[in-house]
Structures are given as structure tokens and as C-alpha cells.
Amino acid sequence: MNKHRIATLAIAFTLGTLGMSCASDTTTTADTVATTTAPTTTEAPAIDLPDVVVTYSVLASVVSELVAGVADVVTVIPDGQDPHEFEPSAKDLETINNAVFVVANGLEFEEGLETPLERLHDDGGPVFFVGEHITVREMSEADGHSHGDETSQKEDDAKAAEDDHAHDHGGVDPHLWLSPGTMLEMLPALSAELAMALNTNLDAALAAVTAELTALDEEIAALFAEIDTCELVTGHDELGYFADRYGCEMIGAIIPSSTTTSEASAGELAELKDIIAEHGAKVVFTSLGTPQDVAAQVAKETGVELVELSTHVMGAAGSYAEFVRSFARQIASALA
């Protein structure tokens, strides 16, 4: 082999080696860029908010607006279950006892929760009873049926003797959430105690909820101002706060009691039919807990229409305002 061929091979070998080196460097650089420029994401750790426990769904909707972003609201009584008849499980009681703050009706509405709530309150637990911060509506004979004859009176006395007196609500109306005006009355105290328990400032939330409920109150007042005669016959005595607020009158109920755990006597039902005829009532407003067979019989015998209201259940309503607006419009439409 001559010197010229040896030199040529040497040059070719050197160039090949350099080319491989360059290719290797290019690949490494590209790989490095690809790995170092890819975005790195890290999920923020979930914030463990304190629990505020509320006994039933409608009240919980108001509390949720006050504490949004600073606490989780846990509802004890499932939406759709009659709070009058609810009995708590051991887990429910544990949830209540471990809460940072508990909000309850306070007028013996949640009958199955009355004893544990009172015990927690008496032990210094953080329990807020709404009924202690409103103008409580006293139940009167006008809310039920007067008993006009001796036979009816005897029937009613016998029935009363069998009833559990714990279901009497102490002569006060527990359906305080059915009037935005009543809810507005308790908001400042609730907000103040929540803020203290959660160690936060709820002034902005209080202002927003107050504005919302004030506007709702005015809207419903305007709606019922257009109704000449607002006389209400209901499934049980539940619309008293609403009636007092918006110029209506409770003239009768299928169950003449503020709790659905009571029953109407034959004499009371007979008197209700007389009241319907006397006042020319066209509608009976039923709700959760109304005995449907009894309501259907009253409708058949008197010719009234049965209109079911969602007064104890949030259902599809996305807020307290939407909940109240829905049943208020139902009532106004049926009476128009």
C-alpha cells in the first residue's frame, strides 16, 4: 500500500470518528433539552377545613353561604327525610360531638336530636340554637281547630292523652326557616358565633347573605301584596311565620299540629271540612309528612285541589333564596 492510500484512509477514519461524535453530541443535547424543558406540575395539598354541622338541609344552605371557603358544612338529617321523625345513628352523634360548631333549630323541631344537642350544649359545647335568636311564634288555638261539640272534644281529649307530649314543641312554632324575615333576624348572632368558632372574619359573607335575603323578602312581599285574600289550609301547621310575614292567615290544617308525628282525630277532620266550606277554600297545601290518604279523602269530599309544596326539602334548589322563591310562587299562583 502506498503512502497516498494510507493517508486517505487515515483522513476518512478521522472524519468518520468526528461525525459519530457530533451525532452523539447532538442526540444527547436534544434529549437533555427535551427532559429539562418539560413542565413539572405538583398538585396543591388538599386543605382540611373544619366541620360545621347543621341538623337539616334548608338551614345548612344558609350556613353554607356564610362559611363558604372557610369551613365544610355537614348536614345530619338527609334531605328528603322528615326531620320530625329522624333518629340519629351512632355515627351521626359522633359527627355532632366532633364538630367545631353545631347549628340547630332549637325549638324541638329535630325531635330525635333534642336530647344529644341539649346535652352537648349543657356541657359547654359549641351549639347555636336558631330559635334563641328570633321572635318565636307562639301557637294558639287559632292555628288549629276549636272543638265545637262534646263528642269531638271527647275524641280529642282521648287522642291528646295518647300523644307523646315531647312532640308538642312547647306551644311554639319551629318552622322558622320558612320566612326570610325570621332568618334575617338571627343572621348577625349566627355570623358572630361562627366567626369566633372558626377564628375568621365573616363580615363580607354576612353582608352578602343579608342583602340576598332582604331582596328576597321584598320580592315575596310584593308578590303577595297583589293577592286580595290569602287564607291557607295546609298539611300541618307549618306556614305560620310565612303567613304572619306576608299578610296571610292560617285557617286550618289536616294535622292541626306543628309536628307531623301527630294525627288528626275524626272530629278535627270534620271541622276542617266545615272550615273549607265556610271560607270557600279552593286549595290545600300539602308537604313532607302530610298523610296522603287523608289529604286525598279531604279533597274528594270538599272539592279542593291538593298542591304539594317543598317546605322541608331543598331538592333541586341551589340556594335558600331559590328554595323559598319556589314554594312562595306556588302558593301565590294557586291562590290567584
Q: Are 109 and 169 in contact (CB under 8 A)?
A: yes
Q: Are 192 and 99 in contact (CB under 8 A)?
A: no
Distance CA 242, CA 247 (A): 9
pTM summary value: 0.78
Domains of the chain, earliest start first: 51-146+170-335 (3.40.50.1980)
C-alpha cell at 120: 352537648
φ, ψ of residue 232 to 5 degrees: the values are -115, 130
Distance CA 324, CA 307 (A): 16
pLDDT in tens, 252-304: 999 998 887 778 899 999 999 999 999 999 999 999 999 999 999 999 999 99
Q: First-to-last CA distance in the chain?
A: 118
Q: Please report the pLDDT score of residue 139 as a whole number.
A: 83
Residues in the chain with pLDDT values less than 70: 1-46, 140-170
Q: Please report the pLDDT score of residue 163 as a whole number.
A: 42
C-alpha cell at 126: 359549641
Return all residues near 231 (Cβ < 8 A) that are at least 6 apart: 248, 249, 251, 279, 281
pLDDT in tens, 27-61: 444 444 344 444 455 565 567 899 999 999 999 99
Distances (CA, A) of 179 to 35, 66, 324: 62, 18, 8
